[in-house]
Amino acid sequence: MPRIAKYTKTGMAERLTLVFKAYGYEGASLSMLADAVGLSKASLYHHFPGGKVDMAAHVLAHSGARLQRFVLAPLLGKGRGADRIGQSLEGTAHYYDGDMPICLMNSLLLGEGRAHFGARIEGAVAAWTAGLASAMREAGGEEPEAWSHMVIERVQGALVLCRVRGHRWPLESCLENLGQV
């Protein structure tokens, strides 16, 4: 019996995201992806005619929109630079949600994923770094560029440790430390 659509396109992207995060681009099979959205493989191709690359591209676009909303927008908002940085760090905790947060870009950079999405991912990281540096510059901090690189480093490293240890505590601890400066 044909199933009725359970998810909007955004809802599908969220479900597919979980698979790509956990298994990477190559490791995520169409069977897993179809199961994740509750459709057959053939039905997935109706929504994503380009197949797996298409799905990963939509997932990346959805993730980019969330990064913009939760992490980048606060950096470019009103108010004192220090307040904006604090809001962005809080947004970072929301952006990397779940009991064991995983960075999608890290998973998608393995194997063939790098050739498909490397440029987009590099651009997102550059925008994040620039936003942090800009806010810190307005906050009067010294060496804003070096500081922004350090923040990205620590957050990304904390996400690796979240995967190693299997919970989100390393990320929370990292963000708390970064917020105290």
Helix axes 113-138, 52-67, angle to 10 degrees: 10
Selected from 41, 69, 80, 165, the binder of DNA by CB under 7 A is 41
Per CB under 8 A, the list member of 149, 167, 172, 179 interacting with a copy of itself is: 149
First to last CA, the chain: 58
CB of 5 to a copy of itself, least distance (A): 28
Residue 157 sits in the site that holds a copy of itself (CB under 8 A): yes
Burial class (CB within 10 angstroms; exposed 0-12, middle 13-18, buried 19+) of 72 = buried
- Pick what 5 binds: DNA, a copy of itself, none; C-beta below 5 to 8 Å, kind-dependent: DNA
Number of residues that bind a copy of itself (CB under 8 A): 40
Q: Is residue 110 within 8 Å of 24, Cβ to Cβ?
A: yes
At CA 106, angle to CA 170 and CA 9, rounded to 5? 105
For DNA, the binding residue among 10, 31, 173, 177 (CB under 7 A) is 31
Considering only residues 52 through 81, tell me which ones interact with DNA, judged by CB under 7 A.
Answer: 52-53
> How many CB atoms are located within 10 Å of the residue 153 CB?
10
**Contact residues for a copy of itself (CB under 8 A)?**
22-27, 103, 105-107, 109-112, 114, 118, 121-122, 125, 146, 149-150, 152-161, 163-166, 170, 173-174, 177
